[in-house]
């Protein structure tokens, strides 16, 4: 019979209220990783955007919607990562970071292509990529931006946020003069939240990379073309107030940001809502790779079934399921050039890939209500024989919850289609797992999965 670990079940007893802003603010650090931005980019952009919204006189639900739209503007960023890496032949995280620092003119984009595409790649591959971009750049960029914006809006809805938040995220890459993507909207047809989010993004990207003067210069340079000129003027006025830039650099900026959320619009999170948040971020994780759609949710479901067979109660399984769904959140910090590489990884690439497990632990460890399961989720590549990663734990220190997630993860990976092979049958997958019993796979978990399969609970 399964014996629960108190440290794992770090749940609320109803006496503590979980605020949505704090949970999603902590998750936003994972979005920063995916975009190749310095940690806290989404937090800083949200603080800037909220200052602008308050200066506009927005209050209540309208202010809350801008707050969440800017904080979560990059919800869809993982969905175009593989496409960016493929089309531009490189590290999507670096490409995205550098792309945001180019100027607003067409020639700036041309210079970016010449310097960023295919860095380190075979010259023939680089030339092919440049030729394809030169011929099809409009279609490619529209597709990349449409994927990001539509997926981001969809995930916002899954997070139970308002349609205004979803529309603001959908309009993030539209420009005031109509030159943006993917819809070519202009002026006031662009959702106000989207206009504020783009301005806040530009401001923080240049502030973080080059300082406040560079940020102000870029806002001025893009006023009336990329950016709403009235918002730009308001931002410039705000930036002249005492302490604006100093506050943006404070270590406790996240706590100050939570305090800016309209008090009458606090969104408290119960256990069902927390489940929905985990499922939504499972979509963010799986979107990083075209071949992992549904993987996180399936691992969560399989782990839940195994846990039941091992005697875990409903509430314990609920937390286990969350950890299983989020086990690969660290992959948001790994380049798609590595995740999608068709051949064998070299030693440096393999070390980067292995780092995703530790990143999972670090990301979940920042989320108070999930900190108790951070180590559980991040240990899914540990082995009973001590030859796993990231810590080389062995059977003496690997929690049963991690062992469950390991079995569920391997089984789902083997029985799903991959570019290099078709999905294996359940029988073949179980044969492979059985060979690993006692070394990588826990025998109790394996037998529980056998029972689940025999009872048809995965069909």
Q: Give the CATH number for residue 159.
A: 1.10.3210.10
Residues 263 and 282 in one domain: no
Residues 213 and 353 in one domain: no
What are the DSSP calls for 164-205, one per residue?
HHHHHHHTTT--TTS--SSS---GGGS-HHHHHHHHHHHHHH
Q: Is 331 a catalytic residue?
A: yes
Residues 254 and 314 in one domain: no
Decide if 99 is inside a domain. no
SS3 324: helix
pLDDT at 458: 86
Among residues 149, 148, 132, which one has the least CA distance to residue 140? 132
Decide if 435 is inside a domain. yes
Residues 36 and 158 in one domain: yes
User: What 8-state DSSP symbol labels residue 17?
Assistant: P
Residues 348 and 410 in one domain: yes
Write out the two tokens for 269. Answer: 């999170």
Q: Which of 331, 341, 344, 428 is catalytic?
A: 331
CB of 300 closer than 8 Å to CB of 282: yes
Domain end marker among 268, 289, 311:
268
Q: Cα(310)–Cα(312) distance, rounded to whole angstroms? A: 6
User: What 8-state DSSP symbol labels residue 441?
Assistant: B
Provide the whole-model pTM: 0.93
Decide if 371 is inside a domain. yes
Residues 256 and 352 in one domain: no
pLDDT at 15: 37
Q: Cα(50)–Cα(227) distance, rounded to whole angstroms? A: 17
When divided into structural domains, the chain yields a total of 2
Residues 293 and 412 in one domain: yes
Domain end marker among 268, 296, 321:
268
Write out the two tokens for 66. Answer: 């801008």
Angle among Cα 178, 180, 183 to the nearest 5 degrees reads 80
pLDDT at 419: 66
Tell me which residue has tokens 């707050």: 67
CB of 72 closer than 8 Å to CB of 31: yes
Among residues 398, 399, 384, 414, which one has the least CA distance to residue 302? 414
Decide if 247 is inside a domain. yes
Residues 243 and 298 in one domain: no
Decide if 318 is inside a domain. yes
Residues 344 and 219 in one domain: no
pLDDT tens for the 459 residues of the chain, in order: 333 333 333 344 343 568 899 999 999 999 999 999 999 999 999 999 999 999 999 999 999 999 999 999 999 999 999 999 999 999 999 999 999 999 999 999 999 999 999 999 999 999 999 999 999 999 999 999 999 999 999 999 999 999 999 999 999 999 999 999 999 999 999 999 999 999 999 999 999 999 999 999 999 999 999 999 999 999 999 999 999 999 999 999 999 999 888 877 778 899 999 999 999 999 999 999 988 889 999 999 999 999 999 999 999 999 999 999 999 999 999 999 999 988 899 999 999 999 999 999 999 999 989 999 999 999 999 999 999 999 999 999 999 999 999 999 999 999 988 766 788 999 999 999 999 999 999 999 999 999 999 999 887
Residues 261 and 296 in one domain: no
Tell me which residue has tokens 């981001």: 152
Q: Cα(231)–Cα(44) distance, rounded to whole angstroms? A: 17
Q: Cα(381)–Cα(378) distance, rounded to whole angstroms? A: 8
Decide if 246 is inside a domain. yes
pLDDT at 415: 94
Structural domain for 38, as ranges: 18-79+149-268
Residues 69 and 157 in one domain: yes
Domain end marker among 251, 268, 285:
268
Which phi and psi (to 5°) does residue 222 adopt? -100, 0
Decide if 341 is inside a domain. yes
Among residues 145, 205, 194, 126, which one has the least CA distance to residue 166? 194
Residues 259 and 392 in one domain: no
Q: Cα(230)–Cα(432) distance, rounded to whole angstroms? A: 62
Decide if 86 is inside a domain. no
Which phi and psi (to 5°) does residue 240 adopt? -85, -10
Q: Cα(54)–Cα(267) distance, rounded to whole angstroms? A: 19
């Amino acid at each position: 019979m399964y014996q629960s670990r108190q440290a794992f079940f770090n749940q609320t007893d109803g006496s503590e209220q979980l605020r949505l802003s704090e949970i999603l603010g902590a998750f936003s650090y994972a979005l920063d990783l995916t975009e190749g931005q310095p940690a806290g980019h989404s937090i800083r952009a949200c603080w800037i955007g909220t200052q602008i919204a308050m200066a506009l006189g927005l209050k209540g639900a309208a202010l809350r919607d801008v707050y969440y739209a800017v904080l979560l503007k990059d919800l869809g960023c993982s969905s175009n990562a593989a496409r960016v890496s493929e089309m531009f032949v490189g590290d999507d995280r670096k490409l995205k970071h550098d792309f945001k620092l180019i100027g607003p003119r067409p020639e700036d984009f041309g210079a970016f292509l010449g310097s960023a595409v295919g860095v380190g790649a075979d010259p023939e591959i680089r030339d092919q990529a440049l030729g394809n971009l030169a011929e099809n750049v409009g279609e490619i960029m529209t597709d990349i931006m449409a994927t990001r914006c539509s997926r981001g809006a969809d995930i916002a809805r899954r997070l139970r946020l308002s349609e205004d938040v979803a529309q603001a995220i959908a309009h993030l890459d539209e420009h005031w003069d109509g030159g943006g993507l993917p819809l070519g909207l202009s002026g006031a047809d662009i959702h106000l939240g989207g206009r504020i989010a783009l301005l806040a993004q530009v401001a923080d990207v240049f502030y973080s990379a080059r300082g406040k003067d560079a940020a102000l210069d870029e806002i001025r340079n893009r006023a009336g073309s990329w950016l709403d000129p009235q918002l730009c003027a308001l931002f410039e006025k705000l930036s002249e107030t005492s302490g604006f830039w100093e506050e943006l650099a404070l270590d406790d900026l996240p706590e100050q940001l939570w305090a800016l959320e309209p008090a009458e619009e606090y969104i408290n999170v119960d256990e069902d809502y927390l489940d929905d948040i985990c499922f939504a971020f499972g979509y963010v994780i799986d979107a990083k790779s075209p071949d992992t759609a549904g993987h996180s949710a399936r691992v969560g479901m399989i782990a839940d079934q195994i846990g039941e067979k091992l005697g875990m109660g409903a509430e314990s399984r609920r937390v286990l399921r969350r950890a299983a769904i989020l086990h690969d959140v660290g992959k948001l910090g790994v380049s798609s050039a590595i995740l999608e590489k068709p051949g064998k990884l070299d030693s440096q690439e393999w070390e980067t890939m292995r780092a995703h497990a530790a990143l999972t632990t670090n990301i979940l460890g920042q989320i108070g209500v999930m900190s108790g399961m951070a180590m559980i989720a991040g240990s899914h590549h540990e082995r009973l024989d001590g030859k796993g990663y990231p810590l080389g734990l062995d059977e003496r220190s690997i929690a049963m919850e991690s062992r469950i997630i390991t079995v569920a993860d391997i089984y789902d990976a083997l029985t799903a289609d991959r570019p290099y092979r078709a999905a294996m049958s359940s029988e073949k997958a179980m044969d492979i797992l059985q060979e690993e019993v006692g070394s990588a796979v826990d025998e109790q978990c394996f037998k529980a999965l056998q029972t689940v399969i025999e009872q048809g609970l995965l069909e």
